[in-house]
Amino acid sequence: MTTTVLGIIGGSGLYDLPGLEDAPWVPVESPWGQVSDALRIGEVDGLKVVFLPRHGRGHRVPPSEINYRANIDAMKRAGVTDLVSVSAVGSLREDLSPGTFVLVDQFIDRTFARAKSFFGTGCVAHVSMAEPVSPLLVDAVEAAAKAEGIRAVRGGTYLVMEGPQFSSLAESRLYRQWGCDVIGMTNMPEAKLAREAEICYATVAMVTDYDSWHPDHGAVDITSIIRVLHENRDRAQALVARLARDMPRTHPQCPVGSDTALDHAILTAKAARDPDLVARLDAVAGRVLNRD
80 three-state secondary structure: coil
Question: Is 75 annotated for ligand binding?
Answer: no
Span 234-245, mean pLDDT? Answer: 93
Output the CA–CA distances (angstroms, integers) from residue 131 to 99, 134, 135, 208, in the order listed. Answer: 26, 8, 9, 26
Question: Is 245 annotated for ligand binding?
Answer: no
More confident residue, 219 or 56: 56
Span 22-51, mean pLDDT? Answer: 95
pLDDT band at 1 (very low <50, low <70, confident <90, very high): confident
Torsion-angle region of residue 52: left (phi > 0), alpha (psi -120 to 50) or beta?
beta
DSSP 178-208: TT--EEESSHHHHHHHHHHTT-EEEEEEEEE
Residue 228 pLDDT > 80, yes or no?
no
Question: Is 68 annotated for ligand binding?
Answer: no
Question: Which is the catalytic residue, given 37, 73, 211, 259?
Answer: 211
Residue 74 pLDDT > 80, yes or no?
yes
| H helix intervals, the chain | 68-77, 135-147, 169-177, 187-196, 222-246, 275-280, 282-289
Question: Is 279 annotated for ligand binding?
Answer: no
Q: What is the pLDDT of residues 93-124, one digit of tens each?
A: 999 999 999 999 999 999 999 999 999 999 99
Check if 211 is active-site.
Answer: yes
Q: What is the spatial distance between Cα 250 and Cα 74, in angstroms, rounded to a whole number?
A: 21
For the chain, the average pLDDT equals 94
Answer yes or no: CATH 3.50.50.60 is held by domain 2-289: no
Question: Is 12 annotated for ligand binding?
Answer: yes
Question: Which is the catalytic residue, given 73, 209, 216, 282?
Answer: 209
Span 285-292, mean pLDDT? Answer: 89
pLDDT for position 243: 96
154 CB-contact burial (10 Å; exposed 0-12 / middle 13-18 / buried 19+) = middle
Output the CA–CA distances (angstroms, integers) from residue 207 to 22, 72, 179, 181, 199, in the order listed. Answer: 32, 24, 17, 10, 25
- Distance linking the first and last C-alpha atoms of the chain: 22
Question: Is 195 annotated for ligand binding?
Answer: no
Question: How big is the CA angle at 256 (ends 250 and 261), to the nearest 5 degrees?
Answer: 85
Q: How many CB atoms lie within 10 A of CB 37?
A: 23
Question: Is 54 annotated for ligand binding?
Answer: yes
The H or E element spanning position 109 is: strand 106-109
What are the residue boundaries of the structural domains of the chain, listed by start?
2-289
pLDDT for position 227: 78
Q: What is the spatial distance between Cα 75 and Cα 7, in angstroms, rounded to a whole number?
A: 7
Check if 82 is active-site.
Answer: no
- DSSP 8-state secondary structure symbol assigned to residue 125: B
pLDDT for position 220: 60
